[in-house]
Structure 1
Amino acid sequence: MASSPRMVPFEIIRGCRVKGISVIGTGDILHPEWRQMWQDTPVDDDIIVVPTTEVEGSGRVHHLILLPDFDAAQDLARRLGPMSSDMNRNGRPRVPLSGEEILSHVHAVGGIGGPAHAFTPYTSVYAVHASLSSCYGDEPVDLLELGLSADSRYGAGITELAHVPFLTNSDAHSPEPSKLGREFTVLSLDRADSYGVLSAIRQGKIVMNVGFFPEEGKYNRTACSRCFRQYTLQEAISYSWKCPDDGGRIKKGVAERAESLSSGIISERPPYLHVIPLSEIIQRVLDTKSPATRRCRDLYLQCIDKFGDEITVLMKTSPEAIASVDIRLSHAIRAFREGNIILHPGGGGKYGSFEIPDL
């Protein structure tokens, strides 16, 4: 749903090479036709494909699942299928089971899992439950996905998460490199396959998390879901979570939710690098209405042709080298690497925005 018709395995793999992604999750792997499409798509050794899915359990909580191979995906589909009314037509099937029951099935087939976008006001574990154990019981939680509106700082002060690895993931509705891997996790692998990926996550072998400035997320701050006016937590409580301007529901922001869960004792986490998609930086540099304009695409392709892939441009290429392509782009990339960005936080369902000074 709501995806480009080009969002098929072959195009996704091609987009990964332009972006610089070497491990990709399939998403929606419990859907039989989508699973078959991936099994029928040849993939070279430079890309590791991990069967993944998100399911909606009881309480409308979303759970992220990673599996070691397609056989495990088929086994999990057989286990959960009889309890789901929409597994054959919904990429994110609904399964009327608790988090504990879902992860029990996942572990039985050799997979790992945990809460998806854990702090958002809709369909997240902390929107419904006061603790992980309330959702997952005694079943081990292998990972926690931060979501676009949070970074590692948001979970590092929550005591029960001290030993849970944080993943930075982003779903994609288009195979364009600007949409793939907007957030990603750098892992230290002992073996270059899906089993190695799952093992690295289990052991917490995360080198770096890379993702948006959390203020760019559409649920970062507490805000009205209708007019998007932002409120402090105290204001929202005083208004009984109803916007005085238009009567819309005020939704608790990720920043406030994480703060209310934190104990103040901060666990050590891998570095978190905040990035902005290259196409969006180019859009600001060229001052165009869309990153899809011809001028933006031409400059994007110049960078890819010269430096290899987008992630290399964003993370590794020196500003001096980038200046040989475009001096303004060099200034912009240096600015976000140094955190010299003006952020306008999102909330209530409206994405935040950013400015790069002195462009």
Structure 2
Amino acid sequence: MLVNADLHIHSCFSMATSKDMLIENIAPKSLEKGLKLVGTGDAFHPKWLDIIRQSTEYKGDGIYSRGDCDFVLTTEVEGKHKVHHVIIIPDLDIAHELSAKLVSSNKFIDGRPKTPLGGAELLELVREYDCMIGPAHSFTPWTGMYKYYDSIYDCYDKRPDFVELGLSADTDMADCIKELSDFVFLSNSDAHSPWPHRLGREFNQIEMDDVSFSSLKKAFKHKTVKANYGMLPNLGKYHMTACTKCYKLVDPIIAKENKMICSCGGRIKKGVDYRISEIADFSQPKHPSHRPPYVHLMPLGELISMVYDKGVTTKTVQGIWQKMVDNFGPEIDVLIKTPLDEIEKIDSDVSLAIQGFREKTLNITPGGGGKYGEISFSEDFNKTEKKESVTTLDSFF
């Protein structure tokens, strides 16, 4: 069976997350996005584990369900050198035991615990409990594994179970690195709120025997991820080298010559695009035979926001989004499968926006330095006599 899975999100207990990140809200919104399996996030936080136990029904083999939405226990941990790791856990009892064993000063405060343990130590610890582990948003300049290490084996010593790409990278970029050719790639949302333009903005389509922890582990081992879905990487907020204060894009060579200090006095952060070029073995991607397609997405809410020149969380935008989903099914179907003439019957301008997304005619200003990229319509859209607008993706995180 094919399962759409977003395996990295956060709960209301992580810093800078919505208080609405509760199972009762995540489950229905996940289904509307077209997801079947969702990582719980924050599974080393005792209070969140209690909420999971109270809010779900245990189906066995690591799966906790709320209605038709299934959850598997996951957490993100910040380890040595501020490198972030995603861990997938077999059940609540193991999550409690590992949480108790993890050396961390903030695990009762923040859903994303910090520990002095390095990647190799974390791998050894969680593998004792049959967990899976891999680097979170591997290339991002603040907390990605490749931010500090030039090789994944320098971090983990042994081979981890997967590599999460992050919002600022995709398969074409990662497959320029030879050592990653044997790894399963994951594209996950890292969502901090249940808004539909955040939750499920990236996900994976996985061939599984059934929805279970064992089947997920088998899928990674046998590389049966059939597709990765995710944002265009240049919309990611760390895609290009840029200033973290004024967000001006800066040539990486010039940035290094100026000791990574911008003319405005702000700090320049190396972009994912340039970081990958530094460690790449190939100038063009070399995809292994097991590598599935990477399908680029733009959240439907952002497209509607552009059409109406209103915030993505406004009643207008959310109302139209809900109408689209109610009429045509999950958001992924609206974006990719639903005939444009059917969408046009509900909203002709939104139909044009989706057409622009499908035909890749939307304008994109790349993101960097902590600011998401900007998307705007091409000149053709102005023929509808709508006001031209630009919307940023800064509200994503």
Q: Determine the C-alpha separation between the residues in 2 that align with 1:198 and 1:314.
A: 30
Find the counterpart in structure 2 of residue 52 from structure 1: 74
Secondary structure at 1:55 match in 2: strand
Give 1:210 shift.
0.8
Instruction: Provide Cα deviations, 1:265-309, integer angstroms capped at 9, x if missing partner.
Output: 612331111111111111112232x02233222211211221122
Aligned to 2:53, which of 24, 36, 39?
39
Q: Determine the C-alpha separation between the residues in 1 that align with 2:47 and 2:169.
A: 33
Number of matched pairs: 354
Q: Determine the C-alpha separation between the residues in 2 that align with 1:207 and 1:320.
A: 29
After TM superposition, the structure 1 stretch with the greater mean CA deviation from structure 2, 85-94 or 191-200, is 191-200
Q: Contact conserved, 1:54 with 1:63, CA < 8 A, in 2?
A: yes
Aligned to 2:359, which of 338, 342, 348?
338
Q: Determine the C-alpha separation between the residues in 1 that align with 2:69 and 2:120.
A: 32
Secondary structure at 2:55 match in 1: coil
Which residue identity does 1:97 align to in structure 2? L
> Is 2:249 the partner of 1:230?
yes
Could you list the structure 1 runs, at least 4 aligned residues long, displaced by more than 4 angstroms after superposition.
Answer: none
Q: Contact conserved, 1:79 with 1:105, CA < 8 A, in 2?
A: no
Q: Contact conserved, 2:28 with 2:69, CA < 8 A, in 1?
A: no
Find the counterpart in structure 1 of residue 346 from structure 2: 325
Find the counterpart in structure 1 of residue 110 from structure 2: 90
Give 1:44 shift.
4.5
TM-score (norm 2): 0.85
TM-score (norm 1): 0.94
Q: Determine the C-alpha separation between the residues in 1 that align with 2:197 and 2:250.
A: 32
> Is 2:24 the partner of 1:7?
no
Q: Unaligned 5+ residue runs, structure 1?
A: none
Aligned to 2:215, which of 174, 196, 204?
196
Which residue identity does 2:294 align to in structure 1? Y
Secondary structure at 1:324 match in 2: helix
Q: Contact conserved, 2:197 with 2:300, CA < 8 A, in 1?
A: yes
Q: Determine the C-alpha separation between the residues in 1 that align with 2:297 and 2:191.
A: 17
Q: Unaligned 5+ residue runs, structure 2?
A: 1-14, 57-64, 382-397
Alignment of 1:281-320 (within 5 A): 281-288=303-310, 290-320=311-341
Which residue identity does 1:89 align to in structure 2? I
Q: Determine the C-alpha separation between the residues in 1 that align with 2:142 and 2:66.
A: 38
Find the counterpart in structure 2 of residue 277 from structure 1: 299
Alignment of 1:21-36 (within 5 A): 21-36=35-50
Give 1:65 shift.
0.8
Classify 1:87/1:294 alpha carbon distance in 2 versus 1 (closer, same or farther; 3 Å).
closer
Identity percentage of aligned residues = 40
Q: Determine the C-alpha separation between the residues in 1 that align with 2:320 and 2:265.
A: 45
Give 1:346 shift.
0.9
Higher strand fraction: Structure 1 or Structure 2? 2
Instruction: Provide Cα deviations, 1:209-236, integer angstroms capped at 9, x if missing partner.
Output: 1111111111111111122221222211
Alignment of 1:211-230 (within 5 A): 211-230=230-249
Q: Determine the C-alpha separation between the residues in 2 that align with 1:112 and 1:17.
A: 25
Coordinate RMSD, CA, aligned: 1.5
Which residue identity does 1:319 align to in structure 2? L
Q: Contact conserved, 1:274 with 1:336, CA < 8 A, in 2?
A: no
